[in-house]
Amino acid sequence: MDIETLRSEWDELNREYTELETCNRRYIELLEQLYQHQQKCFNEIKHQRYRMNQITASMRQFKGPVGGEEKEKIDDLQKMSLKRKAQLHEIEQSLPAKSGRYLQIILGDVNVSILNRNDKVRYKDDYEKFKLILNVIGLIMAFFNLIFNYRALELAFIFLLVWYYCTLTIRESILKVNGSRIKGWWRAHHFISTVAAGVLLVWPQGEHWQLFRLQFMYFNVYISIVQYLQFGYQKGLLYRLKALGERHNMDITIEGFHSWMWRGLSFLLPFLFIGYAFQAYNAWTLFKLAYYPPDAPWHVSVMCGLFLLLFCGNIATTMWVVPEKIRERAKERYRLQSMGKSMKLSKEMKNSASDLDISGNSQTATVIAPPLVASTAAETSTSTATEKKAN
Ligand code: COA
């Protein structure tokens, strides 16, 4: 290659670099616009909540007996207020959220927000798969520990439990930042389980441990099976949630979601309650071991307290979840509607964006907008129609 050819190649590379610079400038401009839009959305959400609180406070004056027409209007306002709350929550899902204290300590000041509903569902899916894989490994290890009594194998299994529960607490905190409605107890449950596994790790191998060991391994085998069933239930819900964003008639999928959820729950609950009874039985065995044989190490009473705490928290939360689901039916329906619409929209946007040239053309934004607006309007009208039918 002669020097002239090299020179002309360099010139061509220069031209490409200028294009790259233009593209990068456009990207930075868009980032700046994105930030401004985010701030505007935050302010508007705040405004909506403020006005809604005012309206709700004013509605309290109609507490006494009211006429038929007035009552209908109040019911309507209450329904719309519930719907708006779900819509605002859904809009918040596309905005960045601050990490909690726990994540900030572990990860530092980093943004863990996922700004797209479909990606959030994908992350949740990944979390469920992670639990499944670790449960299968845990089941195999617990099973081997039932057959062989080797300290190294035992420690490897307990160390896996420490790492597993610790990782769960981090993943669940990320899910929480991204709008998951996971109950505080389930997160606390995994913190307590991390502590319990830590205590087991330092429990010296003596008579007391040997007396409890087999029962503990059977318990782990049972819990792994129950967690496999839980995985089936959560996976089924996620699958139906994804379908929400794909079907034309969302009402059918919401009905499908609910009927599957109730069937799944009635299948799962007996297994969960047997698991809780097992936890209570563990606490009882450890309580007896704390007195006999004598000279029990402190680990026995601590583990007894932790199992008792897990039993009480689990049973109370599970018994609270079911009636809550019945009470909050309307709220849940609006939540699913808003979520389905948002998944549909982001899918449509993705499709329109891939059909266009995104090389920095300022027309991009305006070309994407019309189908979006059109579909929002169309969905609003169909959802109002179906809601009227449902009511
Ligand atoms: N661990 C992690 N996340 C959980 C959870 C758990 N145990 N239970 C519920 N969630 C999540 C749900 O996936 C949902 O997430 P999302 O908002 O991101 O969609 C959110 O919390 C709200 O769930 P909710 O509607 O309250 O309950 P559900 O129908 O999803 O599940 C149960 C209800 C009872 C089946 C579920 O809570 C459960 O399996 N509990 C038992 C856990 C247990 O006892 N483990 C020990 C076994 S002995």
Q: How is 287-324 classified by DSSP, letter by letter?
A: HHHHHSSSS--HHHHHHHHHHHHHHHHHHHHHHHHHHH
CA-nearest residue for atom 48, ligand 1, is: 275
Atom of ligand 1 nearest to the CA of 268: 35
Centre of ligand 1 to C-alpha 198, Å, is 24
**Which residue in the block uniquely carries the two structure tokens 């009882």?**
284
Tally Cβ neighbours within 10 Å of residue 189.
20
Does any ligand 1 atom lie closer than 6 A to the CB of residue 180? yes
Residue type for position 53? N
**C-alpha distances in Å from residue 175, one per residue of 98, 125, 126, 382:** 12, 11, 11, 31
Q: Cβ-count burial of 46 within 10 angstroms (0-12 exposed, 13-18 middle, 19+ buried)?
A: exposed
Give the C-alpha separation, 172 to 178, whole Å: 10
Question: Of 223, 226, 250, whose CA–CA distance to 336 is shortest?
Answer: 250
Ligand 1 within 6 A of 186 CB? yes
Between the CA of 3 and the centroid of ligand 1 the distance, in Å, is 68
Report the nearest-CA residue for atom 3 of ligand 1: 182
pLDDT in tens, the chain (391 residues): 789 999 999 999 999 999 999 999 999 999 999 999 999 999 999 999 999 999 988 888 777 777 778 888 888 998 999 999 999 999 999 999 999 999 999 999 899 999 888 899 899 999 999 999 999 999 999 999 999 999 999 999 999 999 999 999 999 999 999 999 999 999 999 999 999 999 999 999 899 999 999 999 999 999 999 999 999 999 999 888 888 777 767 777 888 888 999 999 999 999 999 999 999 999 999 999 999 999 999 999 999 999 999 999 999 999 999 899 888 888 888 888 888 888 888 778 877 777 665 444 544 443 333 333 333 333 444 444 444 444 3
Q: Do 153 and 141 contact (CB within 8 A), yes or no?
A: yes
Q: Is the Cβ–Cβ distance between 322 and 249 less than 8 Å?
A: no
- Whether 187 is in the pocket of ligand 1, judged by its Cβ within 6 Å, is no
Question: Does residue 319's CB lie within 6 angstroms of at least one atom of ligand 1?
Answer: no
